[in-house]
Structures are given as structure tokens and as C-alpha cells.
A and B are shown apart, each in its own frame.
Chain A
């Protein structure tokens, strides 16, 4: 039984996605800033609504939801980084699909999967994008800003990683609290990024980003195993699973917890949403993510 308090949750005050920023996130604007990485919804991804439950059951059986590509929660509290935390989760889902790894139970609080190290997962830093999107630290950033930055120059790896990769450049994951799998700490302005950081960040870029044109297309992306990042009620989150019995979208929220969006909310929240379909991949070996 799902706690009603976890459904359609939003912060009392905006935690990074205020209405004045959200209104700029039209589909056309997002596609425009993504340039050559922007993709229309692939017709081949379409699933007729009458088959949604059947497809969901298949994902349940095989554990092939985006939620099964998420190994860990993140924790932005009390920062304003929600759009960047959602982006980072979306990115990590796409990268973990490429790596072929499934985390059977999805994220669990205060837990680290051995598979994260064994299968060379990389945790990226939401702060490495936000610091450029909003140099003022507080007030948030919209999806248009953070996607443009991630596509253009990539994200830095978090200081905390599941294994030692020998990265030359890393950054604090979030200026929020963080957790055992995400470093938290003080705000880092762009001017204090480690020298030469772009050489590492370029290895962690979204390559193809799909922008759904309807709620049904957003649903198909979730059913095909991708994360769909949405902004609603002044908070940005990644939908990672559809609970067909309860008719809820499950999302690993950036507060160390799984929350849920109702179909009623989802049918308005899909506007301005996106899914990262592919990312840069390592050149010679997954054990050397940045070459």
C-alpha cells in the first residue's frame, strides 16, 4: 500500500523550478537548445494504449524499467538543484542501459550495489551543470538551461564513485545534503572548477534527447525503459516506472525517497519533458570511462 503522502508531492516553496522559469520550457525551446541532439519521438517506440499493461507486466518480469537502472537516490535538500538532479538520473539511466546492467530492486536508501562498481557505473554531478546555469546559487534553473549545458559540454563525475577510475577532474555532486553515494557540500562556482575540467566532462554528454509530443508518447518512453524528466508543481522529477495496478508513475526523488505521480497530474506534467536515449560511451573500455 502506497502512502498517500508520497503521491503528487511538491515542496512548500519551489526547490529549483519556479513557475517563471518553468514557463520557458516549451517543447520548441528545448529542442532548439539541444540542437543536433534533439530527436522527435521515434515512431518505432509507439505502444498502443491497449497494450500498456501487457508491456508493463513484461518490464515487471524482466526488471527492465528505468527504475531498475537507478542504483542510488540523490539528495538535493535544501538546495535548488532539482532540474539538475532529475537530469543526472535521466543521464545515468541511459548510460546504464548501454552498459547492460540492471539493479533488481532499484534505489534503496543507505545502500550501495556491488554491481555499481563491478559494471563500471559512473555517478555524475548535478552541481557541475547547475553552477553554470545559475551562478547565483539560489533560485533554480529551468530545463532549457540545464539541458543546453549538458549537451554542449557534458557533466563532471561526482567526487564519490563506486570504484576508482582515475578521473583527472571531479566535482562535489550537490550543494545539498548528498548521501553515501553522492557527495554533498559547499557551493562551487564555475570559476573554481578544477583546471581543464572540460576534458573530463566531454565524456559524459547526452547524445540523443527525445521530446514527446503527447502524454501517450511520454508513457511509451517510460514503457520502453527510459526515464522521462518532467517539471510540475515547482519541482522537477524523473518518471522511471509505471505502476499499472495503482496507475501511478514512480520516481526516485532527489530527497532519498521514491515518490509517485498520479495519472491526473501526469497528463498535464508531460509538457516540456524529455528522455535521454543515448550518451557518449567509453572509447576503449568501460573500466576507463574518461579514456
Chain B
């Protein structure tokens, strides 16, 4: 990355918390940092209970109506190589910190919100609004 781009990106990041509402900052060479939800994950461990029906309905609504990648991650799941999938590393960390089950809202690679043990579709949808 060129030095001027690096400085601009740093300034944008520093100012982001001061800007009102939804913020999307394009960073040259870094992809996008955003405060809008881009993906959500209900992180659970089956011994704590199955995914509540309301949660599944809420995830389906987010997938269909909001264009957000809304998924379920069972704590012990892995990718084909037996590793924690990259796309779930951060949601898993955040959910474990809060205690499972937890609903993790991500904006790019940033954790925006964690809701502990939601059970209804409305709770899922409201968490991203």
C-alpha cells in the first residue's frame, strides 16, 4: 500500500466512531470496514439445546429480506481439514466470551453486537437493526 493511502485509511478509521449512523469506509487494499451487519451467526453447542424454532425463522428472514449471510455454527464444527473455519473464528471467540448460545452480528471482520441466547425471530431481526 502507498504511504498516502495508509494515512488516509488511518484517518478514516480514527474518525469512524464520530460519524452518525451506518458507516462504510473503503480502504484501499484492505477491503471494506463497515458498521452495517454483513453476516450473523447463532453459535451453539448441541448439549445446551437445539436451535430454537424462532431463531431459525429469524435467520431465514435475514437471509431472504436483508441479504445478510445468516447461519448457525455448532461449536465443535470444523472445515474439511478439521480446523475451525476462518469465517467462524471471530464469531466463535465472541460467542464463547459471552457464553453459548449466543447470536453474533458481524460487520466485515468486526464484531458489532452479541446477543445472549435469543429465542425469537424478532430478537434475531432486531439485533441487526
A positions within 8 Å CB-CB of B = 39, 42-45, 55, 58-59, 62-64, 97-102, 115, 119, 154, 202-205, 207-208, 224-226, 277-286, 290-291
Contacts and interface: CB of A to CB of B under 8 A. Distances in A.
A266 B4 CA distance: 70
Contacts of B60: 63, 100-102
A95 to B, nearest CB: 10
B73 A98 contact: yes
A63 B54 CA distance: 10
Contacts of B42: 100
A39 B57 CA distance: 26
A204 B80 CA distance: 7
Contact of B49 (A44, A63, A203): A44
Given A99-B71, A100-B72, A102-B60, A280 B78 contact: yes
Nearest to A55: B53
A283 B79 contact: yes
A62 to B, nearest CB: 4
Contacts of B71: 98-100, 286
Contact of B50 (A39, A224, A279): A224
Given A202-B80, A208-B76, A283-B83, A100 B63 contact: yes
B46 A277 contact: yes
Contacts of B83: 283
Contact of B56 (A100, A202, A285): A100
B56 A278 contact: no
B69 interface: yes
Contacts of A99: 71-72
Nearest to A45: B50
Interface in B63-100: 63-64, 69-74, 76-81, 83, 85-88
Interface of B: 42, 46-51, 53-54, 56-57, 59-60, 62-64, 69-74, 76-81, 83, 85-88, 121
A138 B83 CA distance: 38
Contact of A42 (B46, B80, B87, B121): B46
B57 A64 contact: yes
What does DSSP make chain A's interface, helix, strand, loop or mixed? loop
Contact of A280 (B56, B64, B80, B86): B80
Contacts of B54: 58, 62
A284 B59 contact: no
A281 B88 contact: yes
B87 to A, nearest CB: 6
Q: Which of B46, B48, B56, B80 has the most CB of A within 10 A?
A: B80
A64 B78 contact: no
Nearest to A277: B46
Contact of B47 (A44, A203, A205, A290): A44
Given A44-B47, A101-B60, A278-B74, A64 B87 contact: no
Contact of A44 (B50, B59, B70, B80): B50
Nearest to B54: A62
